[in-house]
Amino acid sequence: MSTDGRLARGDSTRRTVLRRAVDLASVSGLDGLSIGGLAGELELSKSGLFALFGSKEELQLATIEAASEIFHRQVIAPALAEPAGLPRLWGLCEAWLRYSERRVFPGGCFFYNTAAEFDARPGRVHDAVARSRTGLIGLIAELAAEAVQLGHLDGDVEGAQLAFEVDALARAANADSVLHGGSEPYRRARKGILARLRAVATAPVALPAD
Q: Dump pLDDT digits (tens) for 155-182.
A: 999 999 999 999 999 999 999 999 999 9
How does pLDDT run across 65-124, given as a tens digit for each residue?
999 999 999 999 999 999 999 999 999 999 999 999 999 999 999 999 999 999 999 999
Asked whether residue 31 is domain-assigned, the answer is no
Q: Quote the pLDDT of residue 10.
A: 65
Q: Quote the pLDDT of residue 1.
A: 45
What is the pTM for the complete model shown? 0.91
Q: Number of structural domains, the chain? A: 1
Asked whether residue 168 is domain-assigned, the answer is yes
| Residues whose CB falls within 8 Å of the CB of residue 75, separated by 6 or more in sequence, listed in order | 92, 95, 96, 99
Distance, in Å, from the CA atom of 52 to the CA atom of 59, rounded to the nearest integer, reads 9
DSSP string, 7-22: HHHHHHHHHHHHHHHH
Q: What is the domain extent for residue 134?
A: 62-204
Q: Quote the pLDDT of residue 4.
A: 53
Q: Quote the pLDDT of residue 158.
A: 97
Asked whether residue 46 is domain-assigned, the answer is no
| Residues whose CB falls within 8 Å of the CB of residue 59, separated by 6 or more in sequence, listed in order | 21, 33, 34, 35, 38, 53
Which one-letter amino acid corresponds to residue 181? G
- Helix 2-28 with 56-71: angle, nearest 10 deg: 80
pLDDT(8) > 70: no
Asked whether residue 26 is domain-assigned, the answer is no
Q: How far apart are the first and last CA of the chain?
A: 57
Which CATH number do you get for residue 70? 1.10.357.10
Asked whether residue 116 is domain-assigned, the answer is yes
Find the helix or strand (DSSP H, E) in which 194 lies.
helix 184-200
Asked whether residue 54 is domain-assigned, the answer is no
Asked whether residue 66 is domain-assigned, the answer is yes
Asked whether residue 28 is domain-assigned, the answer is no
Nearest C-alpha neighbor of 13 from the set 24, 3, 5, 1:
5
